[in-house]
Structure 1
Amino acid sequence: MNELEALTDEQRMKLHNTRRRVIESIGKNMDLYGITLSIGHLYGNMYFNQEPVTLDEMSETMGMSKTSMSTGMRTLHDLKMINKVWGKDSRKDLYEVMPDWHKNFADYFTIKWRKAVEQNMSALSRSIKEIVELKQQYADDTDFVQILNSDTQKIDEALKYYNWLERLIDSFETGEIYRFIPKEEA
């Protein structure tokens, strides 16, 4: 039996209003991190489900097209915020929320940060290589070499930052961060 079926209409309405505020808050919070409001609302709705859900069920609940729902589910799955699960006697894919908010936060940011670090370090490394070539090509132009040396120092500082950021990302992935900033226990 569905958990809501045993409730009175008044109880269902009050529960719906309470949940709606939380779902709206989740959506707005996720929107701050670059996830669309509708995908944030999708996660929020799924968060309150007691059982895994299908695309069709969530599409009906949220009034979204199956295509939009599929995109939203794929986004949440790629961010490791939901899992595909097996359901006995079900031919459709079922999805459930990963309710660990700490892990969701860590997964989301490590995915985004690692991608940014890789792109930026690659660009910085290419620039260092070009600077080395320019120094060789213009070795006699001391003013230009001095500018190149200054740029090299700045790029080295940026590389140090990205190395630090990689260690921070590692600390989120391994859970080491919680030694310094412990999770609040219930």
Structure 2
Amino acid sequence: MGIKEAKRIVMEHFAGAARRFGFNELYGYIYGVLFLAGEPMSLGEIAETTGYSLSHVSTALKFMERIGLVVRIKKPGDKKAYYRATKLLKDWRQAAYYSKVMEDVQQTMTNLERALRELEGEESDEARFIRESIEFAIRRNALAERILRFLIEHDDEEVLERLLNCLESEEKR
């Protein structure tokens, strides 16, 4: 029961992550199945393991291949297509999480800048307070975008560990 339950937990985790970030949970189930598979799996095997129809799995795999979460493999002498997960959790995070967060950060910036433009010519105390609040939020949002871009562009764990160590040492001061 241990292996089966461990697989279920991983599949449920990826399905939940997919749901949280606005993707179909099937993408998470498929990724979880392939992430744990020792060998590439056929469309039929994936459908059987996930319990979804061939057509749903096929559509999901096309999308997942397009965004880099799975790779299609052809075996010599076999007409079937086989799939494997990229095995890089970074790719999953980028597709399922970072892209959604970046979209929100960029939308936030657009809306804050629009609101700031609306205050042009306003000189009341309330307008100054609102302007200062928006300008603060714009600066924070710009920092969040820089940090997110750094995470997206750097997959070297050593670089990220050094950054984290630097940030943690600053906290202690």
Fold-level match, TM-score > 0.5?
A: yes
The answer on 1:18 being equivalent to 2:2 is: yes
The answer on 1:160 being equivalent to 2:143 is: no
- RMSD value over aligned CA atoms? 2.8
1:127 counterpart residue number: 115
Say if 1:79 and 1:111, in contact at 8 Å, map to a contact too.
Answer: no
Structure 2 counterpart of 1:112, from 100, 106, 127: 100
Please tell me whether Structure 1 or Structure 2 has the larger radius of gyration of its CA atoms. 1
Deviations 1:42-95 (A, max 9, x none): 222212223322323211232211232134435544664323344444555432
Separation in structure 2 between the aligned mates of residue 181 and residue 21 of structure 1, nearest angstrom: 33
Separation in structure 2 between the aligned mates of residue 24 and residue 169 of structure 1, nearest angstrom: 30
The answer on 1:180 being equivalent to 2:159 is: no
The answer on 1:97 being equivalent to 2:85 is: yes
Say if 2:71 and 2:84, in contact at 8 Å, map to a contact too.
Answer: yes
Name the SS of the counterpart of 1:70 in structure 2: helix
The answer on 1:146 being equivalent to 2:130 is: no
Say if 1:27 and 1:39, in contact at 8 Å, map to a contact too.
Answer: no
CA change 1:146–1:74 in 2 (3 A) is farther
Deviations 1:12-49 (A, max 9, x none): xxxxx333222222233331561555443322221222
Q: Which letter maps to 2:86? A: M
Moved more, 40-49 or 121-130: 40-49
Name the SS of the counterpart of 1:99 in structure 2: coil
**Unaligned runs of at least 5 residues, structure 2:** 166-173
The answer on 1:59 being equivalent to 2:47 is: yes
Deviations 1:123-151 (A, max 9, x none): 1111111221xx2xxx5xx5xx3222211
Structure 1 counterpart of 2:37, from 49, 71, 92: 49
Q: Percent identity?
A: 17
Separation in structure 1 between the aligned mates of residue 164 and residue 74 of structure 2, nearest angstrom: 35
Say if 2:47 and 2:57, in contact at 8 Å, map to a contact too.
Answer: yes
Say if 1:22 and 1:44, in contact at 8 Å, map to a contact too.
Answer: no
Separation in structure 2 between the aligned mates of residue 118 and residue 76 of structure 1, nearest angstrom: 24
Say if 2:17 and 2:28, in contact at 8 Å, map to a contact too.
Answer: no
Separation in structure 2 between the aligned mates of residue 52 and residue 125 of structure 1, nearest angstrom: 48
Offset, 1:103 = 4.7
**Unaligned runs of at least 5 residues, structure 1:** 1-16
Question: 4+ residue runs of structure 1 moved beyond 6 angstroms?
Answer: none
TM-score (norm 1): 0.67
Q: Which letter maps to 2:150? A: S
2:58 counterpart residue number: 70
